[in-house]
Each structure stands twice: as C-alpha cells, then as structure tokens.
Amino acid sequence: MAQKVIEPETRKLVCNKCQQEMAMAEVSATYLGANFEIELMKCPSCGLVYVPDSLATGKMEQLELSLEDK
C-alpha cells in the first residue's frame, strides 16, 4: 500500500552530527506491514529524519489506529 502524506516544514533544522541543513525528502513509514511515502525533513548526509509533533499526534496516529483495526 502506498499513500502520500505531505507535511510542510518552515523551521530551519540542522543535523547536529553532520552540521548539515535538513531538507524535505521522501521517507518511508512502516506500520503493521503497511508502507507509506511521506515528505519529511531529512539530513542529506546521514539520513536522520524529523517527525514533528503535529504529524505524530495527528495524521500519523489516525493512520496507526486505522491500521490496527485492519
């Protein structure tokens, strides 16, 4: 299953380890065997991904709950 979720990010975020500015990139999210493509802030060097509070406690949580009922 693939579904696109886009979460705009306005803050300037820097990966502390690589000292690289993070940028929007396609990342994959997995839960209970289902896969999703999401646009999230990601470190271009080490791949560290940022999941904002609003996503985790909003759309992502809804998605988790509906997958749990599958």
Partner 1 sequence: MLMDRQRVRDRENQCIQEQPPTCTATCPIHVDARGMIDSIRKQDFSAAFAIFNRFVPYPRIISRICDHPCQGECRRNEVGGTIQINALERAAVDYSTKRAGGVTFSSRKSQRIAVVGSGLSSLTVAYDLASKGFQVVLFEAADRLAGHLRELGEDRLPQQAIDDDLAVLKDLSIEVRLNARVGEGAGAAASLSALTEEFDAVYLGVGPDGAAAFAHELALNEDGRIAIDSLTFATSNPKVFAGGSQRYAPAAFSPITSMYDGRYAVLSIERLFQKASLSANREQQGAYQTKLFTSLKGIAPAGAILMAAPEQGYSREEAIAEAERCIHCECLECVKVCEYLAAYKSYPKRYIRDLYNNYSIVLGMHLANKLLNSCAMCGLCGTVCPEKLDMGDYIREVRQATVEINKMPPSVHAFALRDMEFSTGEQFTLARHQPGHDASSYVFYPGCQLSASSPGQVFQIYGHLQQKLEGGVGLMLGCCGAPADWSGRENLFKETIAAVQKQWQGLGSPRVITACSSCYRAFKNFSPAMPIESLWTVLDQVGLPASATPRAARTVAIHDACATRHDNGVQDSVRHLLEKLGVQVAELEDNRSLTTCCGYGGLMSFGNAEVAQKVIDRRIHESEADYLTYCAMCRDNFAGKGKRSYHLLDLICGSGEDDPARKGPGYSQRHENRAKLKTRLLREVWGENVADEKEPFELIITPEVAQLMEKRMIMVEDMRKVIAHAESTDEKILDTTTGRFLAAFRPVSVTYWVEYSVEGTKIVAYDVYSHRMEVS
6 binds, options Zn ion, partner 1, none, Cβ within 5 to 8 A by partner type: none
The entry of partner 1, Zn ion, none near residue 45 (CB within 5 to 8 angstroms by kind) is Zn ion
| C-alpha distances out from residue 40 to 3, 13, 21, 54, 68, Å | 14, 12, 13, 12, 23
Token look-up 């949580």 returns: 61
Q: How many residues are there in the chain?
A: 70
Q: What track of x and - describes contact with partner 1 for positions 18 through 57 (by CB under 8 A)? A: ----x----xxxxxx---x-x-xx-x---xxxxx-x--xx
User: Are 22 and 14 contacting, i.e. CB atoms less than 8 angstroms apart?
Assistant: yes
Residue ranges binding partner 1 (CB under 8 A): 11-17, 22, 27-32, 36, 38, 40-41, 43, 47-51, 53, 56-57, 60-61, 63-66, 68-70
